Amino acid sequence: MLGCPRLGRYPRLGRYPCLGCADFMRYGWRAAPWIADMPAWLQQVFDWLDAPQPAASAPAPTPVPAPRSRRIAPTAIPGAGVFSHPEASREVLLGGVRVAYRLQRARRRTIGFTVGPDGLAVRAPGWVTLAAVDAALQEKAAWILRKLGEASARQRRQADARIVWADGATLPYLGEALTLRLDPSQQRRGMLAAPDGGRPVLYLGLAHAAQGAQIRDAAQAWFKHQARAHFTARLAHFAPLLGVQWRSLRLSSAQTRWGSARADGSIALNWRLLHYRPAIIDYVVAHELSHLRVMDHSPRFWDTVAEVVPDYGRLRQQLREQPAPPWE
């Protein structure tokens, strides 16, 4: 028989076997390793026990409020609240706002929350009861609602920035509005010009009847070419200042990461950074190069970034608040 760290070899038997310890009944537990291997059927028992119990015949029990979290269909949600995950399996009321979220059981020791473009996702150990998940959500309600609001606002800004791929389309380039023009006479990949010193114009060697996908692909090829040249120059600028040496550059198309660095000196930078003004690009370049000295995000790492980009905090916030337009 498995033992309990607090109660010894033979834990007391109660409503939840071996879960009588107060340390085990609250959010943020530090469980014994064997609990992570608890069979799935035992979790089903816990979920069944977590359902409302039938009232005793006598004496009449004190009414207990119904749990705030309830199971819902993972498809359409009738009367859905403000925030709804497309793969939602449960729903909770947080600060008067109904939030439909995806609950996933995982081999971990604590309850984790992730707020992304789809909404709220919760990962919980298999031995955590639904009541404990609900309590953890209530405890973090303010943070969850704030992050959901920020994600929703970001999606609206991205929708507003959507590019219509046609002659005369505009998109940001180094923080400025760039106009696309189709010019069949152009033989090169693309030519950037600024007529009369005004707004920059990118001339693409495509027929006026070109399809949207053709225009997008031609513009993307030009952007990637420019991104490699710009990133290489900035890496060469910051590396000596930080006392590090980078060995290779890879252009990334990731949707959620702007860059990465490996201990061997290889750097990856998202080509869509070219939408942002040069100061923001410099922050990301310095960020990744700083990882060649400190491979984490400790205070020492941020001190390293500040050596070459003192206002990195402001630039980092701007990068978060200004989503790049989707290339679709």
Give the CATH number of the domain where residue 239 resides: 3.30.2010.10
**Do 146 and 77 belong together in one domain?**
yes
- On whether residue 95 sits in a domain, the answer given is yes
Q: Domain ends where: 118, 141, 159?
A: 159
Give tens-digit pLDDT for 289-299.
999 999 999 99
- On whether residue 14 sits in a domain, the answer given is no
**Do 134 and 221 belong together in one domain?**
no
**Do 153 and 218 belong together in one domain?**
no
- On whether residue 112 sits in a domain, the answer given is yes
- On whether residue 271 sits in a domain, the answer given is yes
Task: Give mean pLDDT, residues 108-133.
Answer: 90
* Sign of the alpha-carbon torsion through 281, 284, 287, 292: negative
Q: Are strands 112-116 and 119-125 parallel, antiparallel or unpaired?
A: antiparallel
Q: Domain ends where: 116, 135, 159?
A: 159
- On whether residue 25 sits in a domain, the answer given is no
Give tens-digit pLDDT for 203-252.
999 998 999 999 999 999 999 999 999 999 999 999 999 999 999 999 99
- On whether residue 184 sits in a domain, the answer given is no
For residue 111, what pLDDT is reported?
Answer: 92
CB burial of 190-200 (b: ≥16 within 10 Å; e: otherwise) equals beeeeeeeeee
Q: Which of 70, 7, 20, 16 is nearest to 38 (CA)?
A: 16
**Do 316 and 215 belong together in one domain?**
yes
Q: Taking 80 as the threshold, does the pLDDT of residue 120 lie above it? A: yes
For residue 122, what pLDDT is reported?
Answer: 93
Instruction: Return d(Cα 315, Cα 55) in angstroms, integer.
Output: 58
Task: Give mean pLDDT, residues 284-312.
Answer: 96
**Do 144 and 225 belong together in one domain?**
no
Give tens-digit pLDDT for 26-68.
444 334 444 444 555 555 555 555 555 544 444 444 544 444 4
Tell me the pLDDT band of 256, cut-offs 50, 70 and 90.
confident
Please provide the DSSP assignment of 299-311 as one string. HHHHHHHHHH-TT
For residue 49, what pLDDT is reported?
Answer: 53
Q: Are strands 83-84 and 97-106 parallel, antiparallel or unpaired?
A: parallel
Show the domain range for 86.
70-159
- On whether residue 298 sits in a domain, the answer given is yes
- Whole-structure pTM value: 0.60
Q: Report the chain's mean pLDDT, rounded to a whole number.
A: 79
**Do 233 and 299 belong together in one domain?**
yes
**Do 145 and 243 belong together in one domain?**
no
**Do 150 and 219 belong together in one domain?**
no
**Do 220 and 316 belong together in one domain?**
yes
- Give the total number of structural domains in the chain: 2
**Do 117 and 215 belong together in one domain?**
no
For residue 24, what pLDDT is reported?
Answer: 39
Query: 176: buried, middle or exposed (CB in 10 Å: 19+, 13-18, 0-12)?
Result: exposed
For residue 19, the surrounding DSSP H or E stretch is none
- On whether residue 145 sits in a domain, the answer given is yes
Tell me the pLDDT band of 195, cut-offs 50, 70 and 90.
low
